[in-house]
Amino acid sequence: MKDIQWAGADTIRFEVTKTLDVLHGRPPLTFTYINSFTDLEMNHPLHIHENTELYFCISDKVDYVLGKSYLRLAPGDVVIVRAGEAHRVVLREAHRYERFFIQLPARVFPTLSHDPLHSLMHALGGGSARLRPSAEQRSAIEALLYDTLTVCREDIAEGLLALHQTKIYAKTVELLCLLNECADRVLGADGIAEDEHLPEPLADVMLYIDKNLKSIESVNEIADAVHLAPSYLSAMFRNHLGVPLVYHLQSRKMSLAKQLLEQGQSVADACLAAGYTDQSYFIRVFKRHLGVTPLKYRAAFCAGKENKPAP
């Protein structure tokens, strides 16, 4: 567990991160709480995760880029981000920014007869979504989040650590059950008057990448397709989404490669399918984005799949 607090001239940050590894041979889940004074200059770049992320908005003055949509969040909103979906937070002004988020691998609940994460994603059609719970639901969700935070911060004797982690794990299951109860309270990108889609050129870029991901070799190719100068397009993309276009393109390709590796394809096949001809370069990019080499990722995923008990 990480429990950090520090102060500067204008900055106070409090962070608690708990990694739960309660099932042998299964990927861990991570519970994180952060409460910090956040300057507008602080970087919240567009990024992807290999896991599903549950983001709980506690503060106001927060916007959220989710795929092609630009969402105006309200305190109490919950954003469900599927694995591989590009997303980032955008702060409307400097303020104390409080949030919870939980990283959930796909196979984190293998022994439950009713998997609450699978059920939630099924109710949402398998994609990312923003939920706006009712006032009663929001109160129950936030109470459980802060209760979990309190448990995470308890001083536990070494012999009781496993039991302590199991307690937090159980609270995470309870939280997912609450989210299942409000899965019908989805707001689309047009669900609030202030919501908007990305500027048309960037929406066209996202659409072009969706349709041609495997074959795109450079940012110049994308710029030609949307009839903009590469330098202008890259600057526009970075200004709106916080990362270079080339990084986003690589992230999307790595998400595709990750899916292919999970299906059992070889590193060479995943490399070619993602549009790379240089396998050494592909391996370097994959490790930069996901933290491990493609071969190690495939081996770890397949090992976990083989250990999964029969239904």
| DSSP label at residue 107 | T
- Concatenated DSSP letters for 196-253? EEPPHHHHHHHHHHHHHTTT---HHHHHHHTT--HHHHHHHHHHHHSS-HHHHHHHHH
Tokens for 5? 């607090």
User: What would the pLDDT profile of 70-96 be if each residue is shown by its tens digit?
Assistant: 788 899 999 999 887 878 888 777 778
Identity of the highest mean pLDDT range in 3-12, 47-56, 270-279, 283-292: 270-279
Q: Enumerate domains of the chain plus CATH numbers.
A: 2-187 (2.60.120.280), 198-306 (1.10.10.60)
* Mean pLDDT rounded to a whole number for the chain: 81
- Predicted local confidence at residue 272, as pLDDT: 93
User: What would the pLDDT profile of 191-219 be if each residue is shown by its tens digit?
Assistant: 444 555 567 787 788 778 878 888 898 89
Number of other residues whose CB lies within 10 A of the CB of residue 54 = 22
Q: What is the distance of C-alpha 82 from the center of its chain?
A: 7
Q: How far apart are CA 173 and CA 42, in angstroms?
A: 33
Q: Which residue has the higher pLDDT, 278 or 156?
A: 278
Specify the range with the lowest mean pLDDT, choosing from 194-203, 221-230, 259-268, 270-279.
194-203
Asked if the model's pLDDT at residue 42 lies above 50, the reply is: yes
- Predicted local confidence at residue 10, as pLDDT: 43
Asked if the model's pLDDT at residue 270 lies above 50, the reply is: yes
Q: Which residue has the higher pLDDT, 177 or 65?
A: 177
Q: What is the dihedral of CA 184, 189, 191, 194, to 10 degrees?
A: 150
Q: Which of the four pLDDT bands, split at 50, 70 and 90, describes residue 40?
A: low
Q: Which of the four pLDDT bands, split at 50, 70 and 90, describes residue 61?
A: confident
Q: What is the distance of C-alpha 287 from the center of its chain?
A: 18
Identity of the highest mean pLDDT range in 40-44, 45-49, 277-281: 277-281
